[in-house]
Amino acid sequence: MAEFEDKSACEVTVEMLKKADEGGYSTAFTRTDTLKECTIGASGICCKNCAMGPCRLTPSKKEGEPEKRGICGATPEVVAARNFLRMIAAGTAAHSDHGRAVAETFLMAAKGEAEGYQIKDRIKLLEVAVDLGIEVGERPVEEIAVEVGEKCVAMFGQQHGELAFGLRAPEKRIEIWRKLGVFPRGVDREVVEALHRTHIGVDQEMENIMLQGSRCALADGWGGSMIGTELQDIMFGTPTPLQAKINLGVLDKDQVNIIVHGHEPLLSEMILLASQSDDVKKRAEEKGAKGINIAGICCTANEILSRHGIPVAGNVLQQELAIITGAVDLMVVDVQCVYQAVGELSKCFHTKVVTTSSKGKMPFAEYVEFHEDRGLTIARQIVEMAIDNFPNRGDVDIPPKTQDFIAGYDHEYINYMLGGRFRASYRPLNDGIIDGRIRGVVGVVGCNNPRVRHDAGHVRVVSELVANGCLVVMTGCAAQAVAKTGLMTPEVAYKEGIMPQGLREICEAVGIPPVLHVGSCVDNSRILIALTEMVKEGGLGDDISDLPAVGCAPEWMSEKAISIGQYFVASGAAVVFGGKWPTLGSDKFTRYLFDGIFELYGNSWHFEEDPEKMVGTLLRLIDEKREALGIAAKRERVLFDMAARRELSID
């Protein structure tokens, strides 16, 4: 079992890996063992941007030998910078194409042309309308919604000027962006320009390449992602805290199990709606099932979790393991983070895998094209496919363990919970930081990566941050990793040894856990708004770069994570990544990202492979900001108490 335990810190995952091994099933974990990474590619110095290459600019082994150049003369730092910018562009494109699909559906819903979708949060609609400069007055809600939808759709193709949501940032940050010329113009334009600049023979200065890196990433955080989050909230409801369960034990042997996986809630919201109708439930009973059980994986899970408390089956590395339980009657996917392997693996079981987006098809899967104008009808068709597949089940082996946790802490709710309905504000949070009860705020986000022990980095970093008095906000698969430990329950505040007295007092008084689940990957835009609110509240400087707040991604793997990291850095927050760093082949470019850009943004990137050392870096960065603000207090680093570790099953 030890060998399996080396691969994951999640007990349920370890159990399923053993089962996969016994059954001879290939998973991302086993493929990692057999697939050696290409060290040149991994260090960012392989260029294949034209057919004169690929040019592998490995460092010279002999002293005095000149540095390698590409056939076009490209230096390692330029190759590394171009590769880095291409990652940002791909990440921005993924988040923003999600945002565009949401905006287009929103517009259809506002016009009454999207079956099953509606305008649920009218207050948020008006707030967003005001931010977009739309006249509200006594106008009908539908009319305002149409104008909001049109403005948001237009932000993707906007060619000039400044993205409207970027103007929500603190004034000082806006001035920095204007001075550097990195205020994004339109979402698509920044992605296109990033690809143009990295084409052979265009941008050959790493500093200039990275200006576009910032502009493109900002178009993600303050553009595509923010549009996605805001309009999803208006259509499906702004999240508020609710209790849910997590881990593969949420699958039910007696019910039809449907896994929703991918990213956009446009599909999963309709699947949920379709599964609740009486005749669909009756059909399930006729097939011998006690009901229909919807569970999520990856960020689709986070979306329907945050708004409906739908259980989470697991994070990205558990997608294949879910199928190996034999209990999944249908896995329906849309876009992003869906492993191609699930299609082929499903053929070893009765599970149907259904792709729904024309952007993402897969061998061995059935394709049911999703169209938002007939969303509910198509969702119903998919739910019926799952029901009809229920009698085909073979052996079922569901690991029984689940964990309760609380999700749904968006920035609006944080505002409300701290100050109450009549004096909602970030004042208590800022005061808690100023008086030292909260040492700092850390956003821990991102994926799992089988090249590092599954969930271990997230859990280690977060538990130690909490033990050292930090309030942690989380999104994505990282949030799911920590939800599995129990650190996302308010009761944790009453346990000994978990956190220092000051943080404990705040958690007890407000009734929150020390770790807040704030949603999916696009919801990192909520963290941008929360940081801005902290600045505007006062007492912690006049820019995001002054705050004792840091971002980190201990187990990242996706290009979206690089885009997220860059938009946080360009917005003024320090960012620490774990796992591996994609530019180490060029010292010059790496030093620029880690030190050079500090001059521009007031913070920079950092890399720390070891989670233990990562905590040290995060605390140091927080303490430096506290020192600069004149609110520093001398304190020792606390290690997470062993008894508490056992109580939370954190190894």
Which residues contribute to the site for ligand SF4 (CB under 6 A)? 47-50, 52-55, 70-72, 74, 79, 200
Q: Is 258 helix (H, G, I), strand (E, B) or coil?
A: strand
Q: What does 447 interact with, of ligand MSK, ligand SF4, none (CB < 5 to 8 A by kind)?
A: ligand MSK
Comparing CA positions, the residue from 592, 548, 553, 601 lying closest to residue 575 is 553
- Rounded to an integer, what distance in angstroms lies between the CA atom of residue 613 and that of residue 106? 44
Asked if residue 560 binds ligand MSK (CB under 6 A), the reply is: yes
DSSP 471-539: EEEEEHHHHHHHHTTTTTSGGGGGSTTSS-HHHHHHHHHHT--SEEEEESSTTHHHHHHHHHHHHHHSS
Q: What does 47 interact with, of ligand MSK, ligand SF4, none (CB < 5 to 8 A by kind)?
A: ligand SF4
Q: What does 446 interact with, of ligand MSK, ligand SF4, none (CB < 5 to 8 A by kind)?
A: ligand MSK
The b-or-e profile of 192-211 (16+ CB within 10 A means b, else e) is ebbbebbebeebbebeebbb
Q: Which is nearer to ligand SF4, 71 or 633 (CB)?
A: 71
Q: Which is nearer to ligand MSK, 479 or 615 (CB)?
A: 479
Q: What does 510 interact with, of ligand MSK, ligand SF4, none (CB < 5 to 8 A by kind)?
A: none
In the complex, minimum distance from the CB of residue 74 to ligand SF4, in angstroms, rounded to a whole number:
4
Q: What does 49 interact with, of ligand SF4, ligand MSK, none (CB < 5 to 8 A by kind)?
A: ligand SF4
Q: Which is nearer to ligand SF4, 74 or 266 (CB)?
A: 74
Selected binder of ligand MSK within 476, 486, 513, 551 (CB under 6 A): 476
- SS3 annotation, 613-624: HHHHHHHHHHHH
Question: How many residues form the binding site for ligand MSK (CB under 6 A)?
Answer: 13
In the complex, minimum distance from the CB of residue 521 to ligand MSK, in angstroms, rounded to a whole number:
4
Are 259 and 331 contacting, i.e. CB atoms less than 8 angstroms apart? yes
- Rounded to an integer, what distance in angstroms lies between the CA atom of residue 425 and that of residue 422? 9
- Rounded to an integer, what distance in angstroms lies between the CA atom of residue 399 and that of residue 248? 6
In the complex, minimum distance from the CB of residue 86 to ligand MSK, in angstroms, rounded to a whole number:
17
Are 555 and 448 contacting, i.e. CB atoms less than 8 angstroms apart? yes
- Rounded to an integer, what distance in angstroms lies between the CA atom of residue 612 and that of residue 638? 12
Q: What does 337 interact with, of ligand MSK, ligand SF4, none (CB < 5 to 8 A by kind)?
A: ligand MSK
In the complex, minimum distance from the CB of residue 483 to ligand SF4, in angstroms, rounded to a whole number:
43
428 to 447, contacts with ligand MSK by CB under 6 A? 446-447
Q: Which is nearer to ligand MSK, 306 or 558 (CB)?
A: 558
Comparing CA positions, the residue from 269, 520, 235, 245 lying closest to residue 383 is 269
- Rounded to an integer, what distance in angstroms lies between the CA atom of residue 120 and that of residue 404? 27
Q: Residue 164: is it exposed, middle or buried by C-beta count within 10 angstroms (0-12/13-18/19+)?
A: buried
Asked if residue 558 binds ligand MSK (CB under 6 A), the reply is: yes
Q: What does 70 interact with, of ligand MSK, ligand SF4, none (CB < 5 to 8 A by kind)?
A: ligand SF4
Asked if residue 227 binds ligand MSK (CB under 6 A), the reply is: no
Residues 6+ apart with CB under 8 A from 22: none
DSSP state of 45: -
Q: Which is nearer to ligand MSK, 88 or 429 (CB)?
A: 88
511 to 550, contacts with ligand MSK by CB under 6 A? 520-521
Report the amino acid identity of residue 93. Answer: A
Q: Is 448 helix (H, G, I), strand (E, B) or coil?
A: coil
- Rounded to an integer, what distance in angstroms lies between the CA atom of residue 462 and that of residue 515? 8
Are 298 and 320 contacting, i.e. CB atoms less than 8 angstroms apart? no
**Contact pattern from residue 477 through residue 516 relative to ligand MSK, giving x for each residue in contact according to CB under 6 A and a dash for the rest:** x---------------------------------------
In the complex, minimum distance from the CB of residue 90 to ligand SF4, in angstroms, rounded to a whole number:
18
In the complex, minimum distance from the CB of residue 263 to ligand MSK, in angstroms, rounded to a whole number:
6
Asked if residue 316 binds ligand MSK (CB under 6 A), the reply is: yes
442 to 471, contacts with ligand MSK by CB under 6 A? 446-447
Which residues of the shown chain bind ligand MSK in the complex (CB under 6 A)?
298-299, 316, 336-337, 446-447, 476-477, 520-521, 558, 560
